[in-house]
A and B are shown apart, each in its own frame.
Chain A
């Protein structure tokens, strides 16, 4: 029995001459919550769809719990739960019918589990799928992906469409199931979402994994976007330090993105007389543009 939950080696997918992903390599340990982060078009969904055998790789291999994702797709699918970005179900079914059909497809009796998750997520099960809002369809998707208690849960942009309260409930459910042994692959383009739950994160860009980091390291070196409104001229060279990128200055306004020891930058800012200061999380595109070119 493989000790790895997921092993991906040299995975590539081309659509004609267009590259979807190229030479993707990573492993996920059992019980880990592994993040998958990158801007739109980075290859996250293509990699996930290959793991799910929805698309066939041009080259390379991927296995889940030691089973080949393509050759043993049927056996692999039994261990998986999948929550796609966009939720599309049979519109003429009620949420309950859809979830019971899902349970039948997984060959499990899951009435208690369905009710438990529906209560937690505050979902009305008797409503038709066609009458549900996007957020409520996503809740149906969450229950459908968890009702058979999968060994590996694959989430593609799971929090989109969910309000903050439901997002938190969902993350609590994830952490609870993770404690029971469930491995999670959490794909997102929202860095803060990944930071909340993941142990490690793979960073994808233009179809390749360009870095794999422990989330604790990423947090320590946290990416910050700093905007300062100064009450005095900026001393020359104050922010010419490692980790500062996209530095812009116009009259008394200064902005830059910082990646490194937060104490250091706070010390520098403390030397200035300020009218105002904003320190926020940069967008992923800003991070990628300046740090992963």
Chain B
């Protein structure tokens, strides 16, 4: 890793990290206590209304779970996953495509740092960014839970659900890096990131309902389903291992291609 490149990338990411951190902080801090209050005082009519919501089934969350403060938090976090997937994939894509689209690849790759070191510096910048956003989300979630539920929740489960957004960001960032290295001239990375994240979200969300459980594997959101964390008190080890191999595989292939790829700047 090269500190100079890492520092430069962090400087570039500073703006988006700030915006995302503030947004997620405010959203969860303001909405969570309101939802917890609403759900804990809801009558049966409200629950019957929720009972028709196909997303609950897609998320694997039951009405009993969602009525609890931690269940409500899990329900809201599932939507945050989508935003984090878009953020992660966009970050991974842009990390590569910006050098080609701004035609700065010649600048960075003619300096005395191997492409491998440049790549690792970029990965560490992504990891740091995901961790900062995850940490801010965790702190906001904690504050929201204290305001909305007092002591009536499991701190460890909440912590695990909160940090799930780091894993979701990293999986999609690895996918973004991979796609960016194969197709470095993507002009609209945000559009591609949104499309991929949304298709993955929909595919996974309705795989259970449609009976195609294998499709769940195409949706990294489901590797960290809150229902499983609430039920067992920890992440699903199988999916955690799968995530590790998925990220390692994508980064390994990307690293190999990145080192060997010809830098051809299109005028």
Total chain B interface residues with beta-carbon distance under 8 A: 23
- Inter-chain CA distance A75–B112, complex, in Å, is 6
Q: Would you give the shortest CB distance from B167 to chain A, in whole angstroms? A: 31
Determine the chain B residues whose CB is within 8 A of the CB of A271 once the complex forms.
none
B112 engages A90 (CB within 8 Å): no
Residues of A within 8 A of B105 (CB): 54
Question: B residues within 8 A CB of A89?
Answer: 104, 107
Q: Does B113 sit at the interface, judged by CB under 8 A?
A: yes
**Distance between A89 CB and nearest chain B CB, rounded to angstroms:** 6
In the assembled complex, the Cα of A82 lies from the Cα of B107 at a distance in Å of 9
Contact A88 B104 (CB under 8 A): yes
Q: Which of B18-26, B222-230, B244-252, B257-265 contacts A (4 or more CB under 8 A)?
A: B257-265
Pairwise interchain contact A73-B263, C-beta atoms closer than 8 A: no
Interface presence of B102 (CB below 8 A) = yes
Q: In the assembly, what is the distance between CA of A171 and CA of B267, in Å?
A: 27
Per the bound structure, the CA–CA distance linking A166 and B109 in Å amounts to 28
A54 touches which of B8, B102, B106 (Cβ 8 Å): B106
A144 to B106, CA, bound (A): 13
On whether A73 and B114 interact (CB within 8 A), knowing A86-B267, A88-B102, the answer reads yes
Minimum Cβ distance to chain B for residue A127 (Å): 18
CA distance A74 to B113 in the complex (A): 5
Q: Which residues of B contact A73 (CB under 8 A)?
A: 114
Taking CB atoms, residues of chain A closer than 8 Å to B267 are 86
> Which residues of chain A are within 8 angstroms of B265 by Cβ–Cβ distance?
86, 88
Question: Chain A residue with minimal CB distance to B261?
Answer: A56
**Are A90 and B113 closer than 8 Å at their CB atoms?**
no
Q: Say yes or no: A74 contacts B104, CB within 8 Å.
A: no
Alpha-carbon distance between A78 and B108 when the two chains are bound, in angstroms: 13
Task: Judge if A247 is at the interface, Cβ distance under 8 Å.
Answer: no
Shortest distance between the CB of A140 and any CB in chain B (Å): 11
* CB within 8 Å of B: which A82-136 residues: 82, 84, 86, 88-91, 101-102, 104-107
Residue with the highest number of chain B CB atoms closer than 10 Å, among A56, A80, A84, A90: A90
Interface status of A52 (Cβ within 8 A of chain B): yes
The minimal Cβ–Cβ distance linking B119 to chain A, given in whole angstroms, is 13
| Inter-chain contact A105/B106, CB cutoff 8 Å | no
CB-based A-B contact count at 8 angstroms: 60
Residues of A17-64 whose CB lies within 8 A of B: 49, 52-56
Q: Which residues of B contact A105 (CB under 8 A)?
A: 4-5, 108, 111-113
- The yes or no answer to A212 lying at the interface (CB within 8 A) is no
* Given known contacts A86-B103, A90-B102, A80 and B110 CB-to-CB distance under 8 angstroms: yes
Closest chain A residue, CB of each to CB of B15 = A92
A269 within 8 Å of B by Cβ? no
Within 8 A of A (CB), among B14-35: none
B110 neighbours in A (Cβ, 8 Å): 52, 54, 77, 80, 82
Q: A74-B113, A75-B112, A105-B4 are in contact. Are A56 and B260 (CB under 8 A)?
A: yes
- B4 contacts which of A49, A56, A104 (Cβ < 8 Å)? A104
* Chain A: minimal CB distance from B17 (Å): 16
Cross-chain contact B104 with A90 (CB below 8 angstroms):
yes
Query: Is the Cβ of B112 less than 8 Å from the Cβ of A55?
Result: no
B contact residues around A74 at 8 Å (CB): 112-114, 117
Q: Shortest CB–CB separation between residue A131 and chain B, in angstroms?
A: 16
Which of chain B's residues has its CB closest to A103's CB?
B4
Q: Report A81 CB to chain B, min CB distance, Å.
A: 9
> What's the minimum C-beta distance from B103 to chain A, rounded to whole angstroms?
4
Partner of A106, one of B5, B104, B111, B264: B111
Q: How far is the CA of A107 from the CA of B263 in the complex (A)?
A: 24
- A53 neighbours in B (Cβ, 8 Å): 109
The smallest C-beta distance from A13 to any residue of chain B, in angstroms, reads 9
In whole angstroms, how far apart are the Cα atoms of A75 and B111 in the complex?
10
The 3 A-B residue pairs with the shortest CB-CB distance, nearest first, are A88-B103, A78-B112, A77-B112
Given contacts A52-B110, A73-B114, A106-B112, 6 further A-B contacts (CB under 8 A): A52-B109, A53-B109, A55-B264, A88-B107, A105-B111, A107-B112
